[in-house]
Amino acid sequence: MRPLSKPIQSALSRSAAREGMGSLLSTATSPQTFVNPGALVNPSFAHGGCALRGAPAVALNSRHAGLQESRLIAPSSSSSSSWRGAASGVASLAVGTLLTASRQSLRRNRASRGPLTRARAFSTTATEAPAAGTILSESIKVPPTDERKYRAVQLANGMQVLLTSDETCDLSAAAITVKCGTFQDPDAVPGLAHFHEHMLFLGTEKYPKEDEYQKYLSENGGDSNAFTTTEYTTYYFKVPSESFQGALDRFAQFFVCPTFTESCVEREMNAVDSESTNYSSEDTWRLQQILKATASKNHPFSRFDVGNLSTLKSVDRQFLKDWNREHYQAGAMRLALVGRESLDELQRQVESLFGPVRPGDGCAFKYASKPWTEDCLQKIVHCVPIKEARAMSLCWTLPPTDENLFSKPDLYIAHFLGHEGAGSLHDLLNSLGWVDQLTAGPAQSFSDGQLFGLNISLTPAGDENRMTVLALALKWVELARKTGPQKAMFEELASLQQISFAHKEESPIQDDFVAGATHAMHRYPIDEVLRGVHALDEWKPELISEYFEMLKPENCIVFMTSSDFAGEAKASAPGWQREAWYSAPFKEQPLDVKDLEQYLPEGEELPLLAPQPNPFVPQDFSIRCTEPTKASKSQLKMDGPTLVRKSDLARVWHKTDCAFHTPRLYVMGKLFTPQYERGPRAVALTRLFCNIVLDDLNSLTYDATCAGLGYTVEFSDALTFNAGGFSDKLPLLLESFLGRLTDVVKDLEESELDDGSLTERGHDLLSGLEVQRQLLMQDYKNLTREEPWSVSNYYLGQMMVQGSWHLDEYRKALEEPIGLKDLAQAAREAFGQVQIELLVHGNATPEESNRIADKVIDCMKAMRAQALPEAKQRLVARTPCDRPLIFEYDLGAENPEQENSCTQNVYQVGTFGTDQVSDACLSIVTHIAHASAYQKLRTEEQLGYIVQAGPWVDGYVGGLTVLVQGNRLPPKEADLRIEAWLKQFGTEIAQMTDSEFETIVQAAVNERTQRLSSLSQETLKHWGEIATRRYLFDRTALVVEALRALKKEDVLQFFERYFSEGGSERRKVSVRVLGTSASDQPTTEACLHTLEDLRSYQATSDWWELPADVAVSSQT
């Protein structure tokens, strides 16, 4: 089963981690995700530091390389490697549901790490010392390598708590999940639970200032988040361990004595309303509302649950307090925390801080009907997306997932139906050129049932044959039902689950660990809260058969999402209607099962087969490191990789992992090639080639993704390939991947016979070329359907990066005739002259790394690669000091559904890594700016739901970025508000006491010196230096040294020079994207508008010089 969401590189393709600046900027890895437009997953509300992550809607397909360059993906604090299928296939299976994966991804995307946080609360006041808690368990089942200590206790008020003591941690965290969500909204007040979540962050009796919690976390290098789902709400934070007690005290007050200050109520309603406006133009949320419209009207899922000014107008302070008192009670809460204190000390803190929470069990879940009753089933629902997208979801109602926690029949079914190996539905549809992606699993899961989905992302050709696709999908389900439960398949799946748990690395982020634990505490026995999601202990074939029997056509709802329905919907053809809240068009019609027979081939047996045994299941978990005591997870003490081979063609770097003691290995490769300079057609064809290779490999290597392996090859302005996972089978995957890379080129060249006709293989490749061409075209066309912040980010790159090609140029290139030999020639050109950087890091000896390097270099030689004498680097434009550079784009004219506008200002500072004091000053300014801008522009002035201030990094140049997205003000006025805040911000820094400044500096140091918690984190840290060819592996130590030596006067002078109005080196870029709310209020200043304007600007622009330490020559 492939997970619904796939990790990808961040839109900041030249962001801190990729560019080796991870020691200056945040190094926490946080993969971004994509959502299948037909999957109808359950979005969750979340709020956090970097609201720019708040755009999960039908995003561009991560397989289509080069979109990193085009900046269409939400920025994050860093980037992570893009793995084919799943970065951790076993882990994805361990989740067991698409619901969990989608909630996690939307939570991570919607919330950024930092003070943009909002959450919920409880209310009670302490009058006497709380009683001691009762120990529930000290035998929590943990992975064999987990050395942390655990204890579960129940406080006297009924709250259950999981304590985790880790004496080596430098980052502590806590989370609470309340058994109360949007289903508990009063009928007359949709969105109350979500609004209540916002309000909890705005002051408590003990800490009445509305920004007290956020400010404390920000100043001490921490951050927080919260999200509301249907039946649960989760709040969590992380902070350096020395500041944990202060943060925990402030956090606890949310649930003890929230104030719900009246002055904040109306203002925060505006924030929720702005959030809802954001969602109204996102396909994920629009499709969610259509799904709600198909549910039983007597079930709370059918209700609108985001909230807006209309639905919340009757809410006041007393209303919130009453609702809080009824639902936010200790027995309905699960708390988890991890700190370096002893278990006894952690327990004492919890008893003191959370003991005063009001006792009680909250309200039981009782609903008037099932989510989907019989009259809701056997239907086809046509949906129209905003973006160009084509998908189909076949959905069935099944019993709740919590009824069978240790047999997980839905996981078995998802594994079968979502399989993509030879003989699968995906394999058949792919051979026809009809499918892009396929997933299976619970799309919605509640306490009284689940909606299980088989989700198919279609190509344009597949969309044209959608009824045949539906008929084939139902035949696939019928085959699974007739095949019946197979014990060998169950045992293989159970083995993968066990492997994922036994060799589980620490969570990359402590707050993710505690947030996940609190959810598990509501579902699993206390001893199983860590293992439960992985547990597949009970073989119950009769139960699996019962579930399969429920997957019949008469119980099915089919959602068909297609841009091709737009004309029919716009013309108000019979049956079409609009969803009440976001006006998304849809149409319902009966599902006639008998009618589907006409779409199947008569008398022809379908080439469908049950999944076969997985050859990639790892067997050898031995560890190569022989000196683990010498290793360190500290970024200050961590050794870099060693250069084990150097030639004009390749540099090979190696490091055997001795820190994490995990049987995992990562291979990272980057090929510098002049292909990008050859023009948009060369770029488009090279990306097509990469996608065809990935697609051609899918049926062969899909099993690898299920077994914890991943791989990718892509082209932005360089060719990159990555492979990673369990080291035992990684060489087998890499050999398959490299072999197919060369085979595809040869097959393309030999596709024509002497008479001009195509070979059978040639026909297959031509079909694959057309499919990938259509998908890439679809992605490029969707630029105007992206969120305004994403469009802004894209055009910022077009302005700043030398020689950037535009998506329209790629699209035009793809519209021209493309033959198989054209593709072969582009591949030969791309690989013809290269400089290779290769890193092999993890569970491998130097000899094993050299053997892997041999395979890679042999593959390159088979591609006829020669050494590239000099790898040219694309420069970054140096903005003039005497005037702001403004670019304005009228998005509303292209997308009438987009009401929001975006203003993004960038204040350039200069080259990174050449002046450590300047780098340190920028680090401090951006650290403080984050909370300050949010408080002023988002909380107080309510300029928009998305507000961000933080570091801007493009290639080797950095600065400060401030972004506002909303519908309240046109960009030209939002720019004035940003400038007013910036002036105030300078005053804030000047008025900061020495003690406050020292606290900020220490927080910045803490962020950059946090102990790494996974091998992949370390790999990315080293790869950032190698990929940018700067090789400064001790950069963290240098930056920390500069930070510790910094004085407030240094920062004030730096601010005055680069950011103050009239500053001698103030270089401002303003990108303004107009939504429909501002289309009639354009900028009156001189500004750029078109691609031609951008090209003219670049033709006369100055450029930042490339740092002297960047290697460009093969001789360097």
Q: What's the pLDDT score for residue 19?
A: 25
More confident call, 177 vs 40: 177
1114: pLDDT confidence band, cut at 50, 70 and 90?
Answer: low
Task: Note the pLDDT of residue 129.
Answer: 55
In this prediction, residue 1110 carries a pLDDT of 85
Task: Tell me the sheet residues that pair with 154.
Answer: 134, 160
- Please report which helix (H) or strand (E) contains residue 833, including its range: strand 833-842
Question: Residue 1084 has what pLDDT?
Answer: 82
Give which of 623, 654, 1026 is closest to 846, Cα–Cα: 654
Q: Average pLDDT of 527-551?
A: 97
Q: Kindly report, residue by residue over 975-996, the tens digit of the pLDDT.
A: 999 999 999 999 999 999 999 9
Q: In this predicted structure, what is the pLDDT of residue 361?
A: 95
pLDDT of residue 71: 29
Q: Could you tell me the two tokens for 997?
A: 């400044």
Question: Percent of the chain at pLDDT above 70?
Answer: 87
For range 22-39, the mean pLDDT: 26
Whether 110 shows a pLDDT value over 50: the answer reads: no
pLDDT given at position 603: 76
Q: What order do you get walking across the sheet with 901-911 strand by strand?
A: 885-890, 1067-1074, 901-911, 957-966, 946-954
Please state, in angstroms and rounded to a whole number, the distance separating the CA atoms of residues 1110 and 1116. Answer: 9
Q: What is the DSSP letter of 935?
A: I
Whether the pLDDT of residue 113 is over 90: the answer is no
pLDDT, position 634: 85
pLDDT of residue 1083: 80
At CA 418, angle to CA 724 and CA 562, rounded to 5? 105
Query: Is the per-residue pLDDT at 1017 higher than 50?
Result: yes
pLDDT at 1061 over 80: yes
pLDDT at site 70:
34
pLDDT value at position 1054? Answer: 97
Which burial class, exposed, middle or buried, applies to 580 when counting CB atoms under 10 A from its CB (0-12, 13-18, 19+)? exposed
pLDDT tens, 148-158? 999 999 999 99
At 248 the pLDDT is: 98
Query: Which pLDDT value is given to residue 913?
Result: 86
Longest dimension (CA), the chain: 93
pLDDT at 819 over 50: yes
Tell which wins on pLDDT, 69 or 912. Answer: 912
Per-residue model confidence (pLDDT) at position 630? 67
Residue 24 has pLDDT above 80, yes or no: no
| Cβ atoms of residues 69 and 60 within 8 Å | no
pLDDT in tens, 688-707: 999 999 999 998 889 999 99
Range in 125-139, 464-478, 610-624, 646-660 with the lowest mean pLDDT: 125-139
From residue 159, give the alpha-carbon distance in Å to each of 149, 164, 248.
20, 16, 16
| 207 pLDDT more than 70 | yes
Q: Mean pLDDT over all residues of the chain?
A: 87
Q: Please determine, for residue 14, whether its predicted confidence score (pLDDT) is greater than 50.
A: no
Q: What is the mean pLDDT of residues 85-112?
A: 28
CA distance 417 to 473: 9
Residue 34: pLDDT band (50, 70, 90) is very low
Give the mean model confidence (pLDDT) for residues 874-890: 94
Q: What is the DSSP letter of 650?
A: E
Answer yes or no: is pLDDT of 180 > 50. Answer: yes
pLDDT of residue 507: 59
What values do phi and psi take at 995, rounded to 5?
Answer: -65, -45
CB 114 within 8 A of CB 50: yes
In this structure, is the dihedral angle defined by the CA atoms of residues 94, 95, 96 and 101, taken in order, positive or negative? Answer: negative
pLDDT, position 2: 26
Does position 120 have pLDDT exceeding 60, yes or no? Answer: no
Instruction: Give the C-alpha separation, 24 to 913, whole Å.
Output: 9
Band of pLDDT at residue 553, cut at 50, 70 and 90: very high
Least confident of 35-39, 319-323, 490-494, 819-823: 35-39
At 494, the pLDDT band (50, 70, 90 cuts) reads very high
Token pair listed for 790:
């994403």
Q: What is the CA radius of gyration of the chain?
A: 28
How much is the average pLDDT of 765-790? 95
pLDDT in tens, 356-403: 999 999 999 999 999 999 999 999 999 999 999 999 999 999 999 999
* pLDDT band at residue 505 using 50, 70 and 90 as cut-offs: confident
423 close to 606: Cβ distance less than 8 angstroms: no
Strand partners, 175: 236, 336
* pLDDT range class, residue 508, cuts 50, 70, 90: low
Residue-wise pLDDT tens digits, 333-343:
999 999 999 99
For the full predicted model, state whether its pTM sits above 0.85.
Answer: yes
Contact 180, 367 (CB under 8 A): no
Higher pLDDT, 1096 or 26: 1096
pLDDT of residue 572: 84
Confidence category of residue 114, pLDDT binned at 50, 70, 90: very low
**DSSP string over 449-509:** EEEEEEEEEEPHHHHHTHHHHHHHHHHHHHHHHHH---HHHHHHHHHHHHHHHHTPPPPSS
Q: Is the pLDDT of residue 269 over 80?
A: yes
Q: How far is CA 110 from each of CA 113, 148, 478, 496, 1017, rounded to the nearest angstrom?
A: 10, 30, 38, 30, 22
Least confident range from 67-81, 711-725, 968-982: namely: 67-81
- pLDDT on residue 1018: 95
CA dihedral 51, 966, 119, 176 (to 10 degrees): -40
